[in-house]
A and B are shown apart, each in its own frame.
Chain A
Amino acid sequence: MSGPHSTIAEAPLQRARGAAAPVLPRLLAGVHTEGALTLADHLSVHGQLPPLRGGRRRRGREHAAALIDEIERSGLLGHGGAAFPTATKMRAVASGRGRAIVVANGAEGEPASLKDRTLLEMAPHLVLDGAVLAAEAVDADEVIVCACETADASVHSLEQAIEERAVEPRAGRSPKLHLRTVPGHYVAGQESALVNYLGGGPAMPTFTPPLPFEQGLRRRPTLVDNVETLAHVALIARHGAPWFRQLGTPSQPGSALVTLSGPVADPGVYEIEHGASLASLIDAAGGTTTGVRGALLGGYAGAWVSREWLGGVALSKEHLAAHGATLGAGVVLLLSDQACPVAETARVARWMAGQSVRQCGPCLNGLDSLAGTLEQLAFNGAEASVTRRIERLASLTARRGACGHPDGAVNLILSALEAFHGDFAEHARHGACDRCARPPELPLPDREVSDQASRDRVSGRGSSRGGASRDRATRGGAT
């Protein structure tokens, strides 16, 4: 994606006190292109946070339990990609041993996703409200808001917002608010990697169990929630679960931010309700500018849907499951019909292989072999049984690492084989097609140098631990 992100048509500042219209925009309400909503604007649009019920410890616990109940009634699911029930996670952290910590995850390492940094840049106070509420819910004394180190505008907005709040402290609600920037590589936003990094280690996943909710940062129960999820919490606390459920589907209520990119008039971050059709989203973005070959839903760990299905696709868990896809972190990537899906898939596969932090043999070897096979297939042709070879490699790669990175890449690759099987068969027979030479459409940050430096820094290249893994990488690997 090039150029600045944009949001939906500006909504005038709403003087909402209590009642809020059940329509969109919700998260993006009042947002404008001149910068972040100040604290005053934010309160003007959304109203005050509901009063804290009592400040004493016991009353505080009632309040916390009531809040979690409300979130459970709302059916809020996480917006970081896993769609895990938020209330369940909060309950688990609240009942953990030790004082909890809240981590607001705005790392957003997915190249095609801009929603988190946009939300942080434009509506930081909504996220901060949600984080503070989450801290109350799980009885945490500390909140750490994480933004990508390259998202300067978001970092700046957050700094301002935190300063504004420091000037106007609220009685009874002051967990310590910290802002941390995190590296931008793909896996840095993974829950255990983020906790690892915040604890002073490298931004690489750790072996679980124990999961962060039981033992995370400084061995304390840690609630790691996507920044968008926390923004929804801030709205649910104000307007209630029934209000939240007025949009969306029964199993996936509420609204969501999606990043739409590809051949549309106005690519950018949009707020939809769950279950909205892909067609309506494309309409809101001004329609397509060329023909569309397919859509990648969920980002680079997601799945391809080929053009013949796109008309009927609705953006919610249950609708997309039929296509083997999820909304993931709200990423919708359209591929024009001038691109070669085989070449694009091969490039993404190679990029994903490069994003492995190389801790686990099956991931670093498997993704490398898969990328190599796809590259060969895309550009040089391959034997007829190459599909079987890819499937075999996929089964050796998925679910054998410490995190979901290899699983995501495998998901993407296998879905491409299915969605574009004609193209793949053609390439196997004849090698590169004339569309292969076109410039790549899918955004793969040309951050090779900075990525490498980032990963060198985080994986401690040169240490005997990392070194040993790399030994094996070169020795192993049949394609």
Chain B
Amino acid sequence: MTDTNLLSVANLSVGYSTSQGVVNAVSDVSFDVRRNEVFGIAGESGCGKSTLIRALLRLLSNNGVSTATSITYEGEDINSFSDDKFRDAILWKRISLVPQSAMNSLNPVYRVGDQVIEAIRAHRSVSRSEARERVEFLFDVVGLQPELMRSYPHEFSGGMRQRAMIAMSLALDPGLIIMDEPTTGLDVLVQEQILRRVREIRAEVSSSIILITHDIAVIAEMSDRISIMYGGKIVESATAIDLFESPFHPYTLGLKNAFPSISVMDNELISIPGTPPALIGEESGCLFEPRCPFSDATCAQILPQSHSVGEMHQVSCHRHTDVTELREKASKKSTWHC
């Protein structure tokens, strides 16, 4: 682990206790986020990406329990912090969050500007006018006119509310911003405006960003490195370009097939048969195995280890050595649907 790592997470697991048993929402996840990079976490609903973030920021609901070997931020072991210390020192100040459905995270009875001001003053002892100046600056950064500080959330469109949440996440100059599905539910042009803003902000502010989404196109365009999650685990990690030019994991191969692209029209889309796993109870073997056309006898019994297959490229699959053959087969529809 070197100095270039801003955040290091080792062996994070999250379980929810429900009336039907323990749901292993996140299993043994390890990853690093470097300075000044956009780290994308991609996966479909139920893969555990949102739970992962909530566990990191200690925002889990009562029946969730998270454990980790270590979580370090800028070299400090933040996993050992008490909840109070974490809330004071880390949340919003050094790691901030633009939550999912950020549009619904604003309190409808207070003006938007006031909410950001209060968020600042809750974490820093500054005067109200200093906080207001900061908020004016932040609104400018995200492309909102300062007069809009006096508006109420219901007067904002979805895109504007999203920008306000991004402004709030930048308020205390955090080194790491986590964006959970930042453009889901927004129109195409608004999404483009927001993503463009995020890129500009990143150039100016030099924070790192963890970007979480199920939209493969967005994550491909925005991220430097990408991790793909399935069933609560990271199945493949690589730089964005590496992941698209040389995918290894069958799930990644399947996703590539299933995602339509506006630039490649008329290609045949191939879906992945089956449904995501239930995550309850003990696991044995690879969770993707029931849906994987390439699984063999070991896959169902032995949990795949993480193998390094290139620079900054890891994959958790027994059959990574056969990847050339797998890639060829994966491009045919008959492989997936017989």
Query: Do these two chains really belong together in a complex?
Result: no
Binding site for B on A (CB under 8 A): none
Q: B-side interface residues toward A, CB under 8 Å? A: none
